[in-house]
Chain A
């Protein structure tokens, strides 16, 4: 083990709360977030002696890819869909806020697109860094982000709140 790398248990105690937040933004469920985080930490435990550099970046990469991969073995709590769901009933839409709608709309994104959103706009990773985490090309990150943002803009749950507001652009 490298001298500057923390002991695994110390790392878990010190840094797993931050990773749990990321897991929650991906899963939208506290129990699934804990399960996803523990799955990622378990996978990382086996590689701990081989990790060079920042172990948090490694664990985050494992966590996000465990979430985004469709062939996972031990963690399959969600079914992603590439299609928008049926429109919700208007009376319920009226009762909730834009912020809540946006959170609900994110939950309807396919997992890979949700991962891109979380990495780009919560973790503030660049497109290059996001591509590295997701093990894909920068072009794929751009296209996934573009599709995700487009879906969020047209999500029926947000329809009531869009009038008069700009949609903004990717910064």
Chain B
């Protein structure tokens, strides 16, 4: 190095090589990431006293029709690829394929307005494969050809790599069609008939500008699982959920863009007393106590699903079914730390296919370092209540370890009734 001038010149020259062709579309990519983060921050909200911020996710409303016709049947590394795949009720048709070399196949997907599934086959009878998306930790699969997939959300660029020890892998890519899944649909928005194993009891999607909608459930379960969206309202829009005359929860959180699958986002679970048969109401106002929102661009919708278990107000619950990565998963095992213990370690069930680990921090205000399948990650329960959960897909047979640790400032403390809980889910679709 000849001096600081060389250093500055080098930095300037390389900065000038940046061609930013995503400047105008980047906000859409970011909103989709926000949506993904929200899905990971599932928080069970129980009871009337809970005052969680209610916020719908963000996704572009899919245009109706205009799908490309499906490609003819293809063989990938000598294995016939299916014409279509269905994930959580959504149909996806074959788009393209890649043949691997030297035990490795790679596909790079540019951002697309429609979600895609990436699946694979192997050229030999050995079906074990390591699959990596971008720089995420690779996952180990031992499943039949085209028997599993990774989902690439709309608007996201992704590089998917599949590696095999023997022979070569091949990759096939499928793109979601505009067909809507079974459920209650209006203007391209669908409350699916079943979400996370829960049947829909009723749903309504308001007309543009409508600020108050009501659902009368077809029956009353032990608890109601409420999914909703709000988009296009002014900045001070305040969302209220009410059961009869009683407000259940409320908060700021109206998004800029309408999402087309609002039931896939965070739920508000309301336990019911026997004999209750009130309507469920979603309405929006200017601020928490202001007048109803009057905005022609406003869109709101509410779906009511049947939850057969009443949520606990003290610890997180592990629902029987959850959705993640385009799959439905069923609870197969759970472990918990001893009360007050500052660590928990467990082995992931060795099922062949990756497992969904649902991690619950049943302790308020704690920071946790987790080692999942050999990769360190970090979680924080910054709320004042127990029961914040996170979900990660991990390799079968790997180890999961959690420990209280200071990441920034105070790591918090585990009280005598606090614990870490782990639930393991296996594919159920």
Docked complex Cα distance between A63 and B181 (Å): 39
Cβ of B1 and Cβ of A168 under 8 Å apart?
Answer: yes
Given known pairs A17-B18, A34-B157, A117-B7, the reply for A12 and B26 (CB within 8 Å) is yes
**Hey, which chain B residues are within 8 Å of A171, CB to CB?**
4
Cβ of A122 and Cβ of B135 under 8 Å apart?
Answer: no
| Contact residue among A20, A30, A38, A76 (Cβ-Cβ distance under 8 Å from B30) | A38
Chain A: minimal CB distance from B107 (Å): 14
| Contact residue among B3, B376, B407 (Cβ-Cβ distance under 8 Å from A167) | B3
Cβ of A34 and Cβ of B134 under 8 Å apart?
Answer: no
**Hey, which chain A residues are within 8 Å of B369, CB to CB?**
71
Docked complex Cα distance between A32 and B136 (Å): 12
A58 at the interface (CB under 8 A from B): no
Given known pairs A45-B34, A118-B11, A152-B7, the reply for A38 and B135 (CB within 8 Å) is no
**Hey, which chain B residues are within 8 Å of A12, CB to CB?**
26-27, 30
Residue of A nearest to B2 (CB): A165
Which stretch of A80-88, A95-103, A125-133 is in the interface? Answer: A95-103
Taken residue by residue from 1 to 21, chain B's Cβ proximity to chain A (1 for < 8 Å, 0 otherwise) reads as: 111111111111111011010
Chain B: minimal CB distance from A17 (Å): 4
| Contact residue among B1, B14, B20, B29 (Cβ-Cβ distance under 8 Å from A152) | B1
| Contact residue among B7, B24, B135, B157 (Cβ-Cβ distance under 8 Å from A121) | B7
Residue of B nearest to A8 (CB): B27
A16 at the interface (CB under 8 A from B): yes
Chain B: minimal CB distance from A45 (Å): 5
**Hey, which chain B residues are within 8 Å of A170, CB to CB?**
4
Given known pairs A12-B27, A21-B18, A42-B37, the reply for A168 and B5 (CB within 8 Å) is yes
B256 at the interface (CB under 8 A from A): yes
Interface centre among B7, B134, B157, B378, by most chain A C-beta atoms within 10 angstroms, is: B7
**Hey, which chain A residues are within 8 Å of B30, CB to CB?**
12, 38, 41-42, 45
Cβ of A24 and Cβ of B15 under 8 Å apart?
Answer: yes
Docked complex Cα distance between A71 and B411 (Å): 14
Docked complex Cα distance between A100 and B21 (Å): 25
Cβ of B1 and Cβ of A153 under 8 Å apart?
Answer: yes
**Hey, which chain A residues are within 8 Å of B26, CB to CB?**
12-13, 16, 37-38, 41
A158 at the interface (CB under 8 A from B): yes
B235 at the interface (CB under 8 A from A): yes
**Hey, which chain B residues are within 8 Å of A1, CB to CB?**
235
Chain B: minimal CB distance from A31 (Å): 7
Residue of A nearest to B11 (CB): A122
Cβ of A39 and Cβ of B33 under 8 Å apart?
Answer: yes
Cβ of A24 and Cβ of B1 under 8 Å apart?
Answer: no
Cβ of B135 and Cβ of A42 under 8 Å apart?
Answer: no
Residue of A nearest to B22 (CB): A34
Residue of B nearest to A118 (CB): B11
A73 at the interface (CB under 8 A from B): yes
**Hey, which chain B residues are within 8 Å of A13, CB to CB?**
23-24, 26-27
Taken residue by residue from 85 to 128, chain B's Cβ proximity to chain A (1 for < 8 Å, 0 otherwise) reads as: 00000000000000000000000000000000000000000000
| Contact residue among B6, B8, B9, B20 (Cβ-Cβ distance under 8 Å from A16) | B20
| Contact residue among B2, B12, B157, B376 (Cβ-Cβ distance under 8 Å from A71) | B376
B377 at the interface (CB under 8 A from A): yes
Cβ of B34 and Cβ of A42 under 8 Å apart?
Answer: yes
Docked complex Cα distance between A122 and B8 (Å): 6
Cβ of B6 and Cβ of A98 under 8 Å apart?
Answer: yes
Residue of B nearest to A37 (CB): B26
A9 at the interface (CB under 8 A from B): yes
Cβ of A25 and Cβ of B15 under 8 Å apart?
Answer: yes
A53 at the interface (CB under 8 A from B): no
Residue of B nearest to A71 (CB): B378
Cβ of A121 and Cβ of B23 under 8 Å apart?
Answer: no
Given known pairs A102-B10, A103-B10, A121-B11, the reply for A38 and B33 (CB within 8 Å) is yes
B159 at the interface (CB under 8 A from A): yes
Taken residue by residue from 139 to 155, chain A's Cβ proximity to chain B (1 for < 8 Å, 0 otherwise) reads as: 00000000001001101
Given known pairs A25-B14, A71-B407, the reply for A167 and B2 (CB within 8 Å) is yes
Chain B: minimal CB distance from A111 (Å): 14
Docked complex Cα distance between A85 and B134 (Å): 25
Residue of B nearest to A43 (CB): B37
Beyond the given pairs A167-B2, A168-B6, 10 more chain A to chain B contacts, judged by CB atoms under 8 angstroms and listed by A's residue number, are A9-B256, A13-B24, A32-B135, A37-B26, A41-B26, A76-B375, A77-B134, A98-B6, A121-B8, A166-B2
14 contacts between A and B (CB under 8 A): A12-B26, A24-B18, A71-B376, A73-B377, A99-B6, A99-B10, A117-B11, A149-B1, A153-B1, A158-B1, A165-B3, A168-B3, A168-B5, A170-B4
Instruction: List the 10 closest A-B pairs by CB distance, nearest first.
Output: A168-B3, A77-B135, A122-B11, A165-B2, A21-B15, A42-B33, A17-B20, A9-B27, A12-B27, A41-B30
B interface with A by C-beta (< 8 Å): 1-15, 17-18, 20, 22-24, 26-27, 29-31, 33-34, 37, 134-135, 157, 159, 235, 256, 369, 375-379, 407
